[in-house]
Copies of this chain bind each other. A is one copy, B any other.
Amino acid sequence: MFLRCALRHLTLRSVGPVTTPVRTLASGNREVPALTRDRYPAQRGSFAELSDDDVAVFRGILGGPDSSRVLTGADEVQGYNIDYLRSVRGYGRVVLKPRTTDEVAELLRYCNERRLAVCPQGGNTGLVGGSVPVFDEVVLSLQLMDSVERIDEYAGVVVCQAGCVLASLEEQVGARGMIMPLDLGAKGSCHIGGNVSTNAGGLRLVRYGNLHGSVLGVEAVTAEGRVLDLMSDFKKDNTGYHLKHLFIGSEGTLGVITRLAIFCPTASRSVNVAFLGLRSYDDVKQTFLSAKRGLGEILSSCEMIDAPSLDSCTRFFGLQSPIEKYPFYMLIETSGSDAGHDEEKLTRFLEQSMEQGLVEDGTVTGEPTKMKNIWKLRELIADSLLSDGYCFKYDLSLPLDHFYEIVLAVRERVGDHAINVTGYGHIGDSNLHLNVSCSRFTPEIYALLEPFVYEYTSRLRGSVSAEHGIGFLKRKYLHYSKQAEPLRLMRQVKQLLDPNGILNPYKVLPPESPTQEMGH
């Protein structure tokens, strides 16, 4: 093949065998975490407490006295109270599983009248404590709302309920020659409704944009049980205010998304992955620009990994990287409609990058297993860093001119307090994952990191939460990215859509009074 010859000429190496990870953290840390109310000094709002009468009403709405869609057993509800990272735990006593929009509306109407706080929950894969109760909120799980109503390959649209699992949608639209416009590690369990509620980012964003562009229509139920039909199959629809965007990324605090219409791009026939070694961040930045220009329309991912990130990953999981000993690495993925054309573009891009001295060494593959193995080197970094004991994780958007500086600044600042200070992420979307791992949490290192990292980001007008959202854990940092006026308008919008504040309280908006202020 043309590509392979060219690569040999360029002394790019082929991908070696990559050992399967020996363990994952998910199977490790299984003990029940402390209750959020004991760990964080947040204060419970003046909501009603759940009574047996309430449970009876819920059963009435969800199928009668013996309903299996109202969970109240301690064991049954526990999983719905603990988040994926096991960093927070609520003590919600009831989990409700509606099947229809009308049921959601009826449940919310009742909760709103009774002043019962509600935590809407999708696949519970969020990373900021947004998807589980903080105290005793009623859990409204969308799990059973997983019907796909319609797939239209002409217009490129899937219409479905909010509880559909992303991977299942991917499969179903895939059978019709399309892909979902987003892809993320949690796709096996995350719900599309949760993805949209949190405006999830992920790996394809550089190619297909964010969900504000891809979500064509939304049906949402407000706290008062009003059904807002904002469904549409169309990218062009200028009929009044574009209200659906209020529900995209507001993390279930303004309404519960029940149905969706999502634009699905045409699937690519050919996918290739290149893994490159580079000498400096400047070369990374320059290579990204070259990739945009040289690969143009086929560029589908552009990731940066620094040496400490890769080292941590290969060491912990016993993986072998096809190239080593570079301070920086890039993972570039292309996808297009013609394998030959894509290979030609990729080869030319790599030749030029090596001739210009931007890329030192690299490997390219179009074989699915090998591509998967290369992606592992990127996707398992986060888990490997957790193995050091404790890991401070920051998910920032930063200007590319200053993208990596913060890693150096933090590394210098924390010195021996940290085991690893690493930076990796979606350079194609200006999104840096800054991680600081240490053997255990200490107030000293915490004080060195915060508010330093947020102030640094704020000075550069970066985003203190690029793709993870605010949830419960990041509320007190919101003001680093949003000034007083936008915060004020957010509160007004919240008040308008949820006057009693029952929907996902303690999330997104910062506490108004200092007594509500959270600590670490």
Binding site for B on A (CB under 8 A): 152-156, 177, 198-199, 201, 205, 209-210, 212-214, 226-243, 245-246, 248-250, 254, 266, 268-269, 285, 288-289, 292-298, 335-338, 341, 344-345, 397, 399-401, 426, 429-431, 461-470, 478, 481-483, 485-487, 489-490, 492-494, 496-497, 508-509
CB proximity of A362 to chain B, nearest CB, Å: 20
Would you call B470 and A239 a contact (CB within 8 A)? yes
Given contacts A154-B288, A210-B235, A240-B509, 4 further A-B contacts (CB under 8 A): A209-B235, A238-B468, A242-B249, A245-B246
Q: Which of A228, A285, A486, A509 has the most chain B CB atoms closer than 10 A to its own CB? A: A486
What copy number does this chain have within its complex? 2
Set of chain B residues within 8 Å of A288, measured between Cβ atoms: 154
How far does the alpha carbon of A99 sit from the alpha carbon of B244 in the complex, in Å?
A: 33
Would you call A461 and B231 a contact (CB within 8 A)? yes
Set of chain B residues within 8 Å of A490, measured between Cβ atoms: 240-241, 243
For the complex of A and B, 5 pairs with smallest distance between CB atoms = A213-B213, A296-B337, A245-B245, A234-B397, A239-B481
Would you call B463 and A289 a contact (CB within 8 A)? no
Would you call B205 and A240 a contact (CB within 8 A)? no
Set of chain B residues within 8 Å of A246, measured between Cβ atoms: 241-242, 245-246
Set of chain B residues within 8 Å of A205, measured between Cβ atoms: 235-236
Q: Which of A152, A239, A494 has the most chain B CB atoms closer than 10 A to its own CB? A: A239
Set of chain B residues within 8 Å of A212, measured between Cβ atoms: 212-213, 242, 245
Would you call A470 and B238 a contact (CB within 8 A)? yes
How far does the alpha carbon of A245 sit from the alpha carbon of B213 in the complex, in Å?
A: 11
Would you call B466 and A238 a contact (CB within 8 A)? yes
Would you call A239 and B465 a contact (CB within 8 A)? yes
Q: Give the contacting residue for A229; candidates B235, B400, B467, B486; CB below 8 A.
A: B486
Q: Can you list 20 A-B pairs, Cβ within 8 angstroms, ordered by A?
A: A153-B289, A154-B285, A205-B235, A209-B214, A210-B235, A212-B242, A228-B486, A231-B461, A232-B461, A232-B463, A234-B463, A236-B431, A238-B465, A239-B464, A239-B465, A241-B250, A242-B248, A266-B293, A338-B344, A341-B341
Set of chain B residues within 8 Å of A292, measured between Cβ atoms: 156, 266
Known interface pairs A177-B293, A213-B213, A268-B296; A482-B233 also in contact (CB < 8 Å): no
Q: Name the CB-closest residue of B to A400.
A: B154
Would you call B485 and A240 a contact (CB within 8 A)? no
Q: Give the contacting residue for A243; candidates B209, B297, B399, B486; CB below 8 A.
A: B486
Q: Name the CB-closest residue of B to A178.
A: B292
Would you call B426 and A236 a contact (CB within 8 A)? yes
How far does the alpha carbon of A462 sit from the alpha carbon of B492 in the complex, in Å?
A: 32
Would you call B234 and A466 a contact (CB within 8 A)? yes
Set of chain B residues within 8 Å of A461, measured between Cβ atoms: 231-233
Set of chain B residues within 8 Å of A486, measured between Cβ atoms: 228-230, 240, 243
CB proximity of A5 to chain B, nearest CB, Å: 19
Set of chain B residues within 8 Å of A227, measured between Cβ atoms: 485
How far does the alpha carbon of A391 sit from the alpha carbon of B359 in the complex, in Å?
A: 59
Would you call B294 and A430 a contact (CB within 8 A)? no
Set of chain B residues within 8 Å of A153, measured between Cβ atoms: 289
CB proximity of A65 to chain B, nearest CB, Å: 32
Q: Give the contacting residue for A341; candidates B238, B344, B430; CB below 8 A.
A: B344
CB proximity of A128 to chain B, nearest CB, Å: 9
CB proximity of A396 to chain B, nearest CB, Å: 9
How far does the alpha carbon of A296 sit from the alpha carbon of B269 in the complex, in Å?
A: 9
Q: Give the contacting residue for A400; candidates B155, B213, B497; CB below 8 A.
A: B155
CB proximity of A257 to chain B, nearest CB, Å: 14
How far does the alpha carbon of A309 sit from the alpha carbon of B177 in the complex, in Å?
A: 33
Set of chain B residues within 8 Å of A496, measured between Cβ atoms: 492-493, 496
Would you call B210 and A240 a contact (CB within 8 A)? no
Set of chain B residues within 8 Å of A399, measured between Cβ atoms: 152, 155, 233
How far does the alpha carbon of A296 sit from the alpha carbon of B234 in the complex, in Å?
A: 19
CB proximity of A259 to chain B, nearest CB, Å: 13
Q: Which of A210, A227, A483 has the most chain B CB atoms closer than 10 A to its own CB? A: A210
Q: Give the contacting residue for A338; candidates B152, B269, B341, B464; CB below 8 A.
A: B341
Would you call B297 and A336 a contact (CB within 8 A)? yes
Would you call A237 and B294 a contact (CB within 8 A)? no
CB proximity of A23 to chain B, nearest CB, Å: 30
CB proximity of A499 to chain B, nearest CB, Å: 11
Set of chain B residues within 8 Å of A231, measured between Cβ atoms: 461
Would you call B478 and A239 a contact (CB within 8 A)? yes
Set of chain B residues within 8 Å of A230, measured between Cβ atoms: 486
Q: Give the contacting residue for A242; candidates B199, B235, B294, B430; CB below 8 A.
A: B199
